[in-house]
Amino acid sequence: MKAHPGADLDKCTRSTSLNDKDCGAALTAAVQVAADTERRLRQKEPEHADLLYGPVFVTTGPLKADIERLRHPIPCYGLSDEPQPPPPLRAEAESICAEAADIFKVEWRFFLTSVEP
């Protein structure tokens, strides 16, 4: 993870506030690293990229989908300009966002395992 300092997912914990933009920035940085890595690998070997780098590509798709789940329908961690849920629903929304961030972190580890020795 040190090679991707902006993608410090330790900023996203079970107790992270729903509007914590540092967590949102870390999640965004991680998905950008994954997307940039996929793009570079596809450019490097356009004809054979899927065969050569298939395991990497299998991990980038879920990260891209996970970040969208964190944006909508609940605007988690400042990832969307949508209004925050009303106070009676805030605790439930924070729990949902924390679970989604945990899933994202697992997918991130899969991605790192597929690209780093």
Q: What is the mean pLDDT of the chain?
A: 90
CA distances from 39 to 5, 43, 50, 78, 108 (A): 20, 6, 12, 26, 17
Confidence of residue 1 (pLDDT cuts 50, 70, 90): very low
pTM metric for this prediction: 0.89
User: Are the CB atoms for 9 and 27 separated by under 8 Å?
Assistant: yes
State the Cα torsion 89-68-114-29 to the nearest 10°.
Answer: -90
- pLDDT tens digits, one per residue of 61-101: 999 999 998 998 889 999 998 888 898 899 999 999 999 99
